[in-house]
């Protein structure tokens, strides 16, 4: 099990994401530092406000220990951020949030078009005059001390809380889903600004949606509040083109789902960036499933262990996968975090040997394969969110219920 450096934030973070921007360098006591940009969605008990915070994780270049988190911008956020996603389109960087008030908000940043531009050169972009409701609103926002004027508010897309969102940089469009059963796709123009009204809107007979992720520039996948997956194609109307079988259960583990009923729900979803037919889900009670989105067979593998039996808040396909093997694995590796403070990696059972490997639940659930979970980090409270740097995948950023930020650096052999 690895050791992580930590920093006390003084706020309760819900979500954390690295920004897709080169890190800058600095000096402290004649020691070289790396300043890695990130964005947090959190609650400030002192201010009694939900916040979006952009800042730098400052770490030692040699030891990789985190020294501090240095905020650059703090903005009040209307409602609780239910999801946070980031994307880069040309020199524009977008941090997008879905909110418990049903709204979608964009924080726009710009990198100067100069060679070698880093996070130190980031500029925050306020909405244009056409994007605000009135001169009074613009003046009030400009006078606010918390920089809330930098938040771009999209037209109201959902009547109920917005549950999830995702950005497709190829299509330059934003996908959002809600527990009221509504799904919206909003186009973004070339400058990553709001480009117009909702171009796709659907509402199904399902009770609602908990997650939505792009599969490619035309298709996306959703998870239902009561479980199950659906795949949608923008070219084929406002109805799903494929759905997971009810026989596979709410979460892909039919046996356990049958025992525990609808209490087992899907909480998170990720689609493999280069193998779009593969998706992974995390559920209540520590369940992790890998799905073939063609739905010709049941989930590829399932995982769960006594070491990480809490609810799976977030999971991601591991960007280190190409570095781990010379061949493409049938079951790609995953990372996930849980409500009982575990940050785990999961691999195909036959490839996950070594000390600390824990057999998964795949066999018991009747899946085609199984995973083994390996504990990377154990904290004393819930790990609410994490992210992995996309360059090499060495630095894992995580945030906890105890108002802490964690930085885990893992060596990767290139």
pLDDT tens-place string over residues 36-74: 999 999 999 999 999 999 999 999 888 889 999 999 999
Nearest to 387 by CA among 405, 375, 372: 405
- 10 close to 411: Cβ distance less than 8 angstroms: no
pLDDT confidence of residue 35: 94
Domain containing residue 356 = 247-378
Query: What is the number of alpha carbons within 13 Å of residue 165 lying toward its C-beta?
Result: 32
Task: Name residues of the chain where pLDDT drops below 50.
Answer: 134, 190-195, 307, 326, 351-368
- Taking residue 89's Cβ as centre, other Cβ atoms within 10 Å add up to 17
Q: Which DSSP letter does residue 126 get?
A: P
Paired residues of 87 in beta bridges: 94
Paired residues of 282 in beta bridges: 268, 288
Strands 301-303 and 369-378: parallel
Residue linked to tokens 């999209």: 154
From residue 168, give the alpha-carbon distance in Å to each of 174, 215, 216, 279, 347. 6, 9, 8, 16, 27
Alpha helices in 299-384 (DSSP H): 321-324, 362-365
Query: What is the number of alpha carbons within 13 Å of residue 404 lying toward its C-beta?
Result: 17
Distance (Å, rounded) from C-alpha 337 to C-alpha 345? 9
- 186 close to 193: Cβ distance less than 8 angstroms: no
Element (H, E) at 166: strand 162-168
- 195 close to 154: Cβ distance less than 8 angstroms: no
Nearest to 15 by CA among 323, 409, 408, 382: 382
303 inside domain: yes
pLDDT confidence of residue 306: 52
Distance (Å, rounded) from C-alpha 181 to C-alpha 144? 35
pLDDT confidence of residue 30: 60
Nearest to 371 by CA among 401, 349, 350: 349
Tally of residues, the chain: 414
Nearest to 347 by CA among 375, 387, 309, 377: 375
This prediction's pTM: 0.89
Summarised one tens digit per residue, pLDDT across range 314-348 is 999 998 875 555 455 678 889 999 999 999 988 77
From residue 103, give the alpha-carbon distance in Å to each of 63, 154, 155, 160, 261. 41, 7, 8, 9, 32
SS3 329: coil
Please enumerate in sequence order all residues whose Cβ is within 8 A of that of 190, keeping only pairs 6 or more positions apart, or say none. 89, 90, 172
SS3 359: strand
61 inside domain: no
298 inside domain: yes
pLDDT confidence of residue 257: 76
Nearest to 370 by CA among 397, 389, 351: 351
Q: Which DSSP letter does residue 391 get?
A: S
pLDDT confidence of residue 413: 61
- 268 close to 314: Cβ distance less than 8 angstroms: yes
Which tokens hold the place of 331? 């079951």
Domain count, the chain: 1
23 inside domain: no
């Amino acid at each position: 099990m690895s050791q992580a450096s930590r920093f006390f934030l003084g706020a309760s973070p819900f979500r954390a994401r690295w920004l897709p921007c080169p890190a800058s360098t600095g000096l402290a006591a004649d020691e070289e530092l790396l300043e890695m940009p990130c964005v947090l969605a959190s609650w400030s008990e002192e201010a009694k406000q939900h916040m979006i915070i952009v800042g730098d994780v400052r770490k030692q270049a040699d030891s990789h220990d985190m020294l501090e988190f240095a905020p650059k911008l703090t903005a009040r956020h209307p409602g609780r951020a239910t999801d946070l996603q980031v994307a880069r389109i040309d020199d524009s960087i977008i941090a997008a949030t879905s909110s418990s008030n049903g709204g979608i908000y964009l924080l726009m940043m710009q990198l100067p078009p100069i060679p070698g531009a880093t996070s130190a050169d980031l500029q925050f972009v306020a909405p244009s005059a056409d994007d605000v409701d009135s001169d009074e609103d613009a003046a009030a926002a400009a006078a606010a001390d918390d920089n809330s004027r930098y938040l771009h508010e999209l037209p109201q897309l959902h009547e109920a809380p917005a549950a999830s969102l995702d950005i497709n940089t190829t299509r330059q469009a934003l996908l959002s889903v809600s527990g009221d059963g509504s799904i919206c796709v909003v186009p973004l123009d070339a400058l990553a600004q709001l480009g117009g009204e909702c171009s796709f809107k659907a509402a199904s007979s399902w009770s609602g949606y908990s997650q939505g992720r792009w599969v490619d520039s035309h298709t996306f996948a959703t998870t239902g509040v009561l479980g199950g997956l659906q795949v949608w194609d923008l070219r084929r109307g406002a109805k799903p083109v494929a759905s997971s079988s009810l026989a596979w259960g709410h979460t892909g583990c039919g046996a356990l789902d049958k025992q525990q009923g609808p209490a087992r729900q899907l909480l998170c979803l990720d689609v493999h960036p280069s193998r779009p037919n593969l998706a992974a889900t995390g559920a209540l009670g520590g369940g992790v499933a890998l799905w073939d989105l063609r739905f010709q067979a049941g989930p590829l593998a399932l995982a769960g262990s006594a070491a990480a039996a809490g609810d799976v808040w977030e999971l991601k396909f591991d960007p280190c996968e190409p570095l781990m093997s010379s061949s493409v694995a049938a079951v790609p590796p995953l990372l996930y975090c849980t409500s009982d403070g575990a940050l785990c990696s999961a691999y195909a059972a036959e490839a996950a040997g070594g000390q600390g490997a824990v057999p998964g639940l795949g066999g018991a659930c009747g899946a085609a394969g199984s995973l083994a979970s390996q504990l990377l980090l154990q904290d004393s409270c819930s790990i609410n969110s994490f992210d992995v740097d996309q360059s090499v995948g060495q630095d894992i950023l995580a945030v906890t219920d105890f108002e802490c930020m964690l930085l885990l650096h893992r060596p990767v052999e290139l």
